[in-house]
Homo-oligomer: A and B are copies of this chain.
């Protein structure tokens, strides 16, 4: 669609909804040419820049009222932040330079979404992990498919913690006890559980998701003038400034640890960021960790019980796959391997 290089095509595909447009079929209306995020990772520095450009441009377009984010790939929403993001240091530095004070470049994405004047809606048919899950939680609303959607903060399995706002958005939506469960189990949650936790608005049967989100988006877009703005003034975005600072500090303290770099590069080498590897990325990363005993000095080789509990697939993940972050004030340092 936009940009000639597939690698930088955003897997986030915001479709501005201006008004009811009965003459186009709903499906293409929401999915203008996105690509599977495993092939076109959503967190590549290119797509981050494009996303920011797009949202900034839309913010000034008063004819756009609703933005629906979806993925053309039925399996993956923005899967997580691209592990090759570090190869574009110049773009990262540019992004860091223009990010708001006191947030890192990844938190800046969430903050941009959270303060968008339009109503932002995520339609989640597939899996969203790490930065993808943070994107979901930053939007005003999220609806997901019961049978096929999955959402998880996988960062812990890479030796880090969410660093793009995820911990604060989660706490706000599901409370501290469940936020700790999400962050520390690093499990992939199905849509029904995510909805029961309040992480997303609703879980819907997969074959009803398109029509449902379509109806919601059109109805909101058709509201009398000024209603959306008035609703957002009544219900302004929370101020997470203090929490985002804490989160960034916690993230940064882990990101520089050799274990994280090792886990990420081994993960990449073992199949992460391939469709096959992404399907059970949790199992893949747990497998990598088990074969890297030095990242966890207290770990013994797992016996049958533990193996049964967590040993699912094999393979491994690579460089900064979960939520690569860089505090704005610091020079982004990225893994080379």
Instruction: Given A20-B303, A234-B243, output 13 extra A-B contacts at Cβ < 8 Å.
Output: A119-B184, A140-B176, A140-B177, A160-B227, A175-B198, A176-B235, A181-B216, A183-B235, A184-B227, A197-B198, A221-B298, A222-B306, A226-B254
List the number of copies, as a whole number. 3
Contact A159 B235 (CB under 8 A): no
A214 at interface (Cβ–Cβ under 8 A)?
yes
Contact B230 A250 (CB under 8 A): yes
Take A141-B177, A231-B250, A234-B161 as given contacts and tell me if A215 and B309 are in contact as well, using a CB distance cutoff of 8 Å: yes
A274 at interface (Cβ–Cβ under 8 A)?
no
Q: What separation, in Å, do the CA atoms of A216 and B286 have in the docked complex?
A: 13
Give the interface of A toward B (CB within 8 A).
18-23, 25-26, 63, 65, 119, 139-142, 156-162, 167-168, 171-181, 183-186, 195-198, 200-201, 211, 214-216, 218-228, 230-238, 243, 246-247, 249-251, 253-254, 257, 259-260, 263, 286, 289-290, 295-300, 302-307, 309-310
Contact A159 B227 (CB under 8 A): yes
| Most chain B Cβ neighbours within 10 Å, of A142, A201, A237 | A201
Specify which chain B residues have a CB less than 8 angstroms from the CB of A161 in the assembled complex. 227, 230-231, 234
User: What are the 3 A-B residue pairs with the smallest beta carbon separation, nearest first?
Assistant: A22-B303, A215-B309, A159-B224
Contact B309 A219 (CB under 8 A): yes
Q: What separation, in Å, do the CA atoms of A184 and B233 have in the docked complex?
A: 13
